[in-house]
Amino acid sequence: MSCVVLNLKMKPEANGGRHAPFSEGYAPHLVASGTSEMLGVRVVECSEWIYPGTESKVKFSLIYFPSVNYESLKVGTHVDVVEGSHVVGHGIVDEVAR
């Protein structure tokens, strides 16, 4: 399984973030800085429920790999966490396993 680990900061609900926490199984899109492509991912490992306004390290599977090119997700890359047209969080790629 191909995956990335992000140092993730979720936006508070008052600033356009989610209204509810998430855990394993959550499937947003990631958009790497400087790109507009939405990359499908799914949380496969997190230490606890992730609440709006909090920071955490989260492991995501690259759910469409190898059919979709995830090369823009490199260590140190800044990403937005997107639900539909809403940016609900930001992160930095900490680790890549392909």
- Whether 84 has a pLDDT exceeding 70, the answer reads yes
pLDDT at 74: 96
CB of 57 within 8 A of CB of 66?
Answer: no
Higher pLDDT: 1 or 20? It is: 20
pLDDT at 1: 60
Report the percentage of the chain scoring pLDDT > 70.
Answer: 99
> Domains in the chain, please, with CATH?
3-97 (2.40.30.10)
Q: Is the pLDDT of residue 22 over 90?
A: yes
Q: What is the pLDDT of residue 82?
A: 97
pTM for this entry: 0.94
Burial class (CB in 10 A: 0-12, 13-18, 19+), 70: buried
